[in-house]
Chains A and B, each alone.
Chain A
Amino acid sequence: MKFKNLLVPLLGWVFLGSANAQFIDLGAGGVKVVFKTVDIVVNGITFPATQASASVMETAADGTITAKLQTQVQVPDGSGGFEREIIQKTTVATPDTVTGTFDVQTTTEVLTTPVDTNGAVIDATTTETTVVDEEDVDENALDLPPTTSFIAVDPELDIPVVISAE
């Protein structure tokens, strides 16, 4: 069976939950969500928190690079409650064929949602958007996020030759 025939049932699963359009489509396959413990400072106090992140990057035929980074962390809101903060950052780097540099537009949306200690939503989400434009950025200075994409392995396994150690 061809792998592409397997990929759909494999990835159709579980990416359970919201049917809303995803900033990064985890169900499309090939993107790993990386979980790390990070320190978050709120009102001068450091809290350990679990941060989830996923990122993808595409390069179009004309050389335009589009990178998407999404992170989520749940932190104390400083007044006894908790907030879930999702940051969705899109970087579009358009090459200038004359200078070899890039014009870069970075759009950052911060979605903040009050939640209870279990992460259940208790109030409406607020969204804050910022857009930053830069011109004549060298390729080495693009500062694109490392992708968490992976290359799916072929489920048709190799048959090894097993030789005794004796």
Chain B
Amino acid sequence: MMTKLLKLRVALASLPLFGSAMAATSVTYDFESSTSGDLFEEGGVSGWSQDTANPTAFDQTIPLAYISTTNFGGGSSNAAHLGTQFANTANNSDTTLTGDLSSVNFANYLTASFSLAILDNSADSFEGRDGFSVALGNAAGQQAATIGFTPTAGVNESWDIQVGTNGSTSTTSLQVLGLSSYNFKIVATEISTSFSFGPGDLSTGNVGILNTAPITSLNTVNSIVFGHDPLADAGTSSNTLAFDDINVQNVPEPSSSLLMVLCAGLMAIRRRR
């Protein structure tokens, strides 16, 4: 079994802010050190774990999650894939892939972004459709922030978006289309959590989905979890969640940084007067 180490970049940088040095740490998963065909099961992709065993039949292992090439708009590259394209679980159990973020200490801020697409050929004989989710997980094994995707009723090529924090989600009026490339971003502070999304090639900026309550105990976030929820009867779907270019960091958004620098400048001017 080929097992290639995934390029896990833990970038450490110092960012001067307010005259003091504030350490900034981030985790990036771009899967470029993997090989197309690598499996997530049993540590096949470094930094990741898969909770459900791949099924076997006819002396072969048939994957629920694997690396394959996809073009999110910036050119073809390796990306993670999770779902029922090649196999399903007999009991329709969920499958989750968990990416390790424990090297980052999220004290007051968290910014997470990633490319995402739901792959489904609505013309094939597998008419069932499944749900998917992306969550920031915490040390207690709970979902600190969640983006959910459930099939839009009556529209075969569309999934409704739900977002929320601390284990609950709210339905939004927004959808993603199948076979389309998106960029999602979560910005969490001590005050609120904002969710936004835009085209995967970043040709336009993201638009807001919803602002929600802050994440409780932001400093306990330690993972990013991609989940497949087989809503259709066993074996009747062929849906895949593709994702790539995951970046999670503990530095404020540029706009937030700018605001803080501005405030610091105003305070300095006031003190001088």
- Closest Cβ of chain A: how far from B20's Cβ, in Å? 37
Question: Least Cβ distance of B160 to chain A in Å?
Answer: 12
Closest chain A residue, CB of each to CB of B2: A13
Task: Tell me how far the C-beta of A151 lies from the nearest C-beta in chain B, rounded to whole angstroms.
Answer: 5
A160 with B180: CB separation less than 8 A: yes
Q: Which residues of B contact A162 (CB under 8 A)?
A: 182, 197-199, 204, 206-207
- Check A41 for interface membership: any CB of B closer than 8 A: no
| Interface residue count on the A side (C-beta < 8 Å) | 52
B39 and A14 contacting across the interface, CB-CB below 8 Å: yes
Give which listed residue, A1, A35, A164, contacts B235 with CB less than 8 A.
A35
Most chain A CB within a 10 A radius of its CB, from B59, B63, B85, B119? B59
Q: Is A47 an interface residue (CB 8 A)?
A: no
- Nearest-CB residue, chain B, relative to A74: B57
Output the least CB separation between B243 and chain A (Å). 12
CA of A92 to CA of B232 in the docked complex: distance in angstroms?
A: 32
B125: which of A35, A146, A153 is its contact (CB, 8 Å)? A146
Q: How far is the CA of A16 from the CA of B125 in the complex (A)?
A: 26
Query: Which residues of chain A have C-beta atoms less than 8 A from B123's C-beta?
Result: 151
Q: B175-213 interface mask toward A, CB cutoff 8 Å, 1 = contact, 0 = none?
A: 011011110000000000000011111011011110000
Interface size on B, residues (CB 8 A): 64
Asked if A1 and B69 sit within 8 Å, CB to CB, the answer is: yes
Q: Evaluate contact between B125 and A147: CB separation under 8 angstroms.
A: yes
Contact call B37/A12, Cβ cutoff below 8 A: yes
Check A42 for interface membership: any CB of B closer than 8 A. Answer: no
Does B24 have its Cβ within 8 Å of any Cβ on chain A?
Answer: no
The residues of B that contact A149 with a CB separation of less than 8 Å are 125
Q: Which of B60-81 contact A (CB under 8 A)?
A: 60-63, 66, 68-73, 76
Q: Does A72 contact B (CB under 8 A)?
A: yes
- Residues from chain B with Cβ under 8 Å of A156 in the complex: 71, 76
Let me know if A151 and B90 touch, CB within 8 A.
Answer: no
| B36 on interface, CB distance cutoff 8 Å | yes
**Chain B residues, CB < 8 A from A163:** 207
Chain B residues near A54: list those with CB within 8 A.
57-58
Q: Quick check: is B140 within 8 A (CB to CB) of the other chain? A: no
Chain A residues within an 8 Å CB radius of B61:
14-17
- In the assembled complex, the Cα of A92 lies from the Cα of B127 at a distance in Å of 27
B71–A165 CB distance below 8 A? no
CB <8 Å contact, A26 and B58:
yes
Tell me if A143 counts as interface (CB < 8 A to partner B): no
B216 within 8 A of A: no
Enumerate chain A interface residues (CB-CB to B < 8 A): 1, 6, 9-18, 20, 22-24, 26, 32-37, 50-52, 54, 70, 72, 86, 119, 146-166
The 5 closest A-B pairs by CB, nearest first: A13-B37, A52-B57, A34-B235, A18-B59, A164-B207
5 new A-B contacts, CB < 8 A, other than A6-B68, A159-B201, are A17-B58, A150-B125, A151-B121, A158-B181, A160-B176
A-B contact pairs, 29 of them (CB 8 A): A1-B69, A6-B36, A9-B35, A13-B36, A13-B37, A13-B63, A14-B63, A15-B61, A16-B60, A17-B56, A26-B58, A32-B84, A32-B86, A35-B57, A35-B235, A36-B235, A51-B90, A70-B58, A72-B57, A146-B125, A150-B124, A150-B125, A153-B119, A155-B70, A155-B71, A157-B71, A158-B177, A162-B204, A162-B206
B residues contacting A by CB (< 8 A) are 1, 35-39, 55-63, 66, 68-73, 76, 84-91, 117, 119-121, 123-126, 172-174, 176-177, 179-182, 197-201, 203-204, 206-209, 234-235, 238, 240, 242
